[in-house]
Every structure is written in C-alpha cells, then in structure tokens.
Amino acid sequence: MRYRTIGDVEVSAIGLGAMPLSIEGRPDRDRAIATIHAALDAGVTLIDTADSYHWHADEIGHNEELIAAALAVHSGSDAVLVATKGGRGRPGDGSWTVTGTPTHLKNACEGSLKRLGVDAIGLYQLHKPDENVPWAESVGAIKELADEGKIRLAGISNVSRAQILEAREILGGTLVSVQNEHAPAHLVHEPELTLCTELGLAYLPWGPLRGIGAEFRAVAGEHGVSPQRVCLAWLLAKSPSMIAIPGSTRPATIRDSAAAADLVLTDADLARLP
C-alpha cells in the first residue's frame, strides 16, 4: 500500500467509500462489517462516510454507526482516519436535501461525534454548498467547530475553484481536502484538481469508477488485473493530491480496489486513457 497525506495525516492512497454499505441495495450487517474489515486488512486507513448515508428517513447516521461498530472490534482501527460529512439529508424517498445553515451543521457535527464515539472528528467535510445560505456562513460554522476542538481537520465537497479559495481564506490551514465527483465519465472538475495540487490540498474523487470504457479494459487485460483497478491507478497518477475512495459492498471488491495503490501504469498506458 502506498500512502499520501491529508493535512498532516498519512493515509492509504486508496480509501473506502462506505456509502454503499448503508443506502438502497445495501448488504446485510455482517457482510458490511466484513467489507470494512477487509479494507483494513488490505491496508486501507481512510474511511469516508456522512451522516446522510442511510436508506430510511429514521436512520440518520446509519453508516457512521456501522463504521464505529466495525472499528471497535478490529485491532487496526487506531491507524484509521474516519472522514465524515454534514450538510445533506435523505427524506427516505431516494432524494437528497441540502442544509448548510450554521445551526444545522453544528447539530450535525454533534450527532456525528456521538455516533462515532470520539471527542473530535478526524476530518469533517461540508457536504455540499447550500444555494440558500452564503458560502462564508456555512464555512464559518466549520471554522467554529475547529476552534472548539470538535473537528481536527476540515474538508469541502462538491465545490468550485472560487469556493475552494474562499473556504481557504476562512479556514486557513485547517482546510486540507476537497471531495468532488471525478471519474472517466466526469472530468469537469479537472480545474479544481489542478488547484488542489497547487495548494497542497488532498483531492478525494467520489464516484471514481463511473464510465470505465474499452480502453480501461484493454489496459487491464494487458496487466492481468480488473478494469476497476486500472481506473483507480489512473486517478492516482493524475496528481499526488489524489486519494481515491471507491465504494464497495463485498470484501473481494475492496481488496481488489486497495491493490490499485500498488499498480504502476506506464506512460504508454496513461497515454491511452482519458
């Protein structure tokens, strides 16, 4: 496993995006916990979650509680950075809401602290800008949480270059990461990736496997690995700031994803990919 940094914390270059373990189509609890444990056994030391990663309206924080339970019975949990998020909701009908008021974000953080069973959250991320709330107010609430010692590091998600720069002015060195959609089928955030690389911010692409095409399958066949592993290695090759967080619902798939950290693609390989 290769490692990269989020702020001053060293983490595995491949993390676990835990959302699929709690939303629609999720596995049973035993398999979900086995998937988390398989990730840890494969060297994964970053788990990405959110209070809104749940299925039904009455189970806010399902994913956070699942992660806490899995970590509590695994010997390697001390090295894991759990990154959670606040600012979105799920009414239970499959839709997503956005609430970026300072009051909501502070209450959401309190709930996450309790469910994760920690005194301070390792990495707390503002899930999405709320068009009805000034960005500076939402980010300001994150700064207050950091000043109060409730979060150690801060991140922002689903953001533009301008929002990254504004958040950095407010948060200073506490801002350490950006999480945007980034995949073969979604490359519109290349400017944000470039900015994060320049600023030394970690970049966590969500949905990283969407749009794997024939070119990925061809390279995978030549290396004798899965197209998914090639896709994750391709993302890592884009920038030293990149830390991929693929989702998984089975131990076998997260083990395969974790192995992408050690797959080195040649210049010729990369020239054939988007």
What pTM was estimated for this model as a whole? Answer: 0.97
As a whole number, mean pLDDT of residues 101-112 equals 98
pLDDT digits (tens, 9 = 90+) for 186-212: 999 999 999 999 999 999 999 999 999
What is the residue whose two structure tokens read 């988390």?
36
Length of the chain measured in residues: 274
At 156 the three-state DSSP class reads strand
Q: Work out the angle between the directed axes of helices 227-238 and 251-258 (0-180°, nearest 10).
A: 40
> Is-contact 21 27, C-beta < 8 A?
yes
As a whole number, mean pLDDT of residues 52-60 equals 97
Q: How far is CA 195 from CA 32, 88, 200, 201, in A?
A: 35, 25, 8, 8
pLDDT digits (tens, 9 = 90+) for 151-198: 999 999 999 999 999 999 999 999 999 999 999 999 999 999 999 999
pLDDT digits (tens, 9 = 90+) for 250-270: 999 999 999 999 999 999 999
Chain centroid offset of residue 119 CA: 21
3 tagged catalytic: no
Gyration radius of the chain over CA positions = 18
Q: For residues 3 and 43, what is the distance between their CA atoms, to the nearest angstrom?
A: 10
Place 249 in a pLDDT band, splitting at 50, 70 and 90. very high
Other beta carbons less than 10 A from residue 139's beta carbon: 26
On average, the pLDDT of the chain sits at: 97
| Per-residue pLDDT at 18 exceeds 90 | yes
Q: Work out the angle between the directed axes of helices 102-116 and 62-72 (0-180°, nearest 10).
A: 30
